Every structure is written in structure tokens, then in C-alpha cells.
Amino acid sequence: MSTSAPPETTRFGYATHLSCRECGKTSDLGPHYACEDCFGPLEVAYDYPPLTRADIESGPQNIWRYASLLPVPADIAQRPSTRPGYTQLIRADELAQVLGMRRLWVKDDSGNPTHSFKDRVAAVALAAATEMGFTVLACPSTGNLANAVAAAAARVGIRSVVLVPANLEPQKIIATAVYGGTFVTVDGTYDDVNRLASQLASEHDDWAFVNVNVRPYYAEGSKTLAFEIAEQLGWRLPDQIVVPVASGAQLVKIDKGFSELVSLGLVEQSAWKIYGAQATGCSPVSAAYAAGHDVVRPVMPATIAKSLAIGNPADGPYVLDAVRRTAGAVADVSDDEIVDSIRLLAATEGIFGETSVGVTLGVLRKLLAAGQLDPAAETVIINSGDGLKTLDALAGAVRVPAAIKPTLEAFTEAGAGWDECVRAHTDAGAHR
């Protein structure tokens, strides 16, 4: 039962305070992200009201149907926002058959307003930042967050300040610049950009860096992936879920989201297993998992999966906790395997995901082959972004046919070429 004030009177819904993930010390809701005592990361704590499935089902078709479970004001659904979420959960029977699995689903977050899962976290961060009086929405980004923050700020008419590594995919650069706002490309890695953002955050106390000084609120947005998956499965949890890992926040919060649904009595208790997916060229969490370590040693990223290229992941240790506690695993795949899995998903299900889904599906296949994932158990994989954002990754892999004259003769002459295309398509399904 809730003892908190009705949400109409609170700025952060049913959120009550921030709590240190390391030592448990509490602090007031506000723009704090590190514990005063131990510098551990802070997390939002709540006093939830009784909540029924019907309450949620009667909400809007976006993440705000779960507003009671987020640190946002109760009338958030009526305010301007990009309104992300409620993306499709697609039953992937064709892909399941190729992989020898029984029941497989793809949670397709490319359907969000700026075509990645980052719209969820940007929207929650913006709502909380507005309540805290920030006037600028900012972020360091590996690309997708840049798109989401620039768009979210434009929608509500506030200034954005977005910093990215200069070597990002051109699609992600243009899809940030188009929204206006202050856009800075930095000669360096994401970890360099992140360090610069931390310095800027301490200089400008009216700038909300969504994933730095308002990170506790931002991270909560990823819980909505868990809520939607459970609701779309008919208020059940999947047995297994494979999640791409950059900072690790998404994975940790999906696990937290499942736990909250159980404690609220919205789903039955069950033993889900959570698996993390990284690219071999940036696999600090996978390496720590394999070595049995609790700490994550930073790496220099070198992979086509730029959206996941965080060499020093803030939530790395918590990812290790979650996968070990649920008897899951973390694994990584090469750039070639990433491209192959992007093609396999496209050819079997008609879903063109970005490099992150190549990582996620690649890791699913690897874990299946190693017997670490049960092919008979109901499984969900996340497609966290749109393939149109990472076209360069496919440039050498798909065959673009030469143009023909618009005549029947030319079509017939080119016949050998068509056969090759068909074979390439079936090949993608042949090797698992």
C-alpha cells in the first residue's frame, strides 16, 4: 500500500528518494547521481500504489502507460513529448526454425520516434529534468542518444547540447544535426566525449546531461522495455532474454522491470534468465564474465557496432550481477558475425536492425551453439535500433546489382545475377 501523496501533487510520481546501489544511503530526489559517502551510483526508489493490469491497459499506447512506475509527473501523458514506446513484439517463427528454437520473439525498438530504444530514456530524463528546473537537455552519445535527445528537446522547445565522437555513422550525424540545437563532434572515443561531458556538467548547473547528472532518472526509462514485453506476452515473463550491452543500463533495468512486475503482482513469479551481448571489438563486460571477475577492465573500442562502443561501461558490474544471479551469461561476437546476423534477421523476418541487433542475434546463436541457452525455452531478443542508421556496415556484404536496360532481353540476360541473389538470401539462413 502506498503511503505517499497522490501523484498529482508530486513532481516525480511515486518516486520517493534516491538510494545508493553500493551502500544504500538515501538522498532526496534531485539532480544527484553519485553517493555522498561512497561515490556509488544512485538509483530511484518508489513507494508504489496498488496497480492493476487494467489500470495500465487503459493508458496511452506509449511508455506513459507505465507512468506510475517511472519518476515522472502524473500528467506526463498530456504534456508534449516524443511519446516513444509500445513498439512491436514480433513472433519470429521463421528465424526460430532456422535456429532450431521453439518460441522466439523480437522486441522491435526500431519503431521508436528516432528509430532506437534511446527515445525511452531520453523522454524520461527530459520529464524529470524539466521538474528539476533544468533549461538545457544535453548528452554525450554513441549516436542514437544524440538523435533522441536532439529530437526530444526540439519537441518541447528547449535547447539541446549534444556531443558525439566525430567518427560516427553519417546517418546518425545528420539525424542529430537536423533538429537544430548545439551539436558538437569530438575528435576522440566515446569515453573521451563522456569525460568532457562530465566536466561540462560541473560547469553548467542548468544543463541536464541525461546520462550523467540525471542518469538515475534516465536509466529508469529502460524498465519500460520489460513492462511492454511482459504485457505483450499476455502478462507473462519470458524464460530467456538477450540484451545488447553498451553502458549496461538497459540490461540492468530490464531485469529490475521484471522484478517490479513480480512484486506488484502484475505477473507470476518466474525464473527468467538474462543474457548480455557485446561486440568482440568492445567486450569489457564479456571478458570480465569469462574471467569470473566482478570488476570490468576498460578497453579501447574497435568495432562496427558503434552504438555499443563504450569501453568503460558504467553499469558493467551490475550487468555481471544480473546475469550471474539469473543464471544467464555474457558473450561477444566478431564484426563478421554481426553482419551475418543482421542479414539473417532481415532475410527470415523482414526486420532490418542496426549493428546492435547483429550483436544480439549473433550472441543468441553463439550461446545456442555452446549449449548455454535453451532452444526449447521462450526467448526474447531486443532489436534496439534501425538498420538504416548503420548502412555502411552492410556495404561490402550485400550485393547491389548493376542496372539493366528496361527491356525483357536485358532482364533475361541478367538472369544469372538474379539466381545469385536468391542463393545469397537462402545462404543467410543456412549457417546457424
Ligand X SMILES: *Cc1c(COP(=O)(O)O)cnc(C)c1O
- Binding interface with ligand X (CB under 6 A): 116-118, 144, 244-250, 307-308, 354, 356, 384-385
CB 137 within 8 A of CB 152: yes
Nearest to 305 by CA among 328, 283, 286: 283
Q: Which is nearer to ligand X, 230 or 249 (CB)?
A: 249
Q: Which is nearer to Zn ion, 23 or 302 (CB)?
A: 23
Q: Which is nearer to ligand X, 283 or 307 (CB)?
A: 307
* Cα 345 from Cα 429, distance rounded (Å): 9
Torsion over CA: 246, 248, 249, 251 (sign): positive
* Least Å from the CB of residue 329 to ligand X: 16
- The answer to whether residue 36 forms part of the interface with Zn ion (CB under 5 A) is no
Q: Which is nearer to ligand X, 71 or 73 (CB)?
A: 71
Nearest to 161 by CA among 138, 133, 185, 194: 138
- Of the candidates 25, 103, 155, 236, which one interacts with Zn ion according to CB under 5 A? 25
Q: Which stretch binds Zn ion (CB under 5 A): 24-32, 228-236, 278-286, 306-314?
A: 24-32
Residue 354 binds: one of ligand X, Zn ion, none (C-beta under 5 to 8 A by kind): ligand X
* Cα 142 from Cα 197, distance rounded (Å): 13
Residue 75 binds: one of Zn ion, ligand X, none (C-beta under 5 to 8 A by kind): none
Q: How far apart are the first and last CA of the chain?
A: 49
Residue 247 binds: one of ligand X, Zn ion, none (C-beta under 5 to 8 A by kind): ligand X
Residue 25 binds: one of Zn ion, ligand X, none (C-beta under 5 to 8 A by kind): Zn ion
* Least Å from the CB of residue 37 to Zn ion: 5
Residue 38 binds: one of ligand X, Zn ion, none (C-beta under 5 to 8 A by kind): Zn ion
CB 146 within 8 A of CB 169: no
* Cα 145 from Cα 120, distance rounded (Å): 10
Nearest to 96 by CA among 285, 373, 314, 338: 373
* Least Å from the CB of residue 18 to Zn ion: 10
* Least Å from the CB of residue 425 to ligand X: 25
**Which residues, 6 or more positions from 20, have their beta carbon under 8 angstroms from its beta carbon?**
26, 27, 35, 37, 38, 40, 41, 42, 43
* Cα 59 from Cα 282, distance rounded (Å): 39
Residue 30 binds: one of Zn ion, ligand X, none (C-beta under 5 to 8 A by kind): none
Residues that bind Zn ion (CB under 5 A): 20, 22-23, 25, 35, 37-38, 40
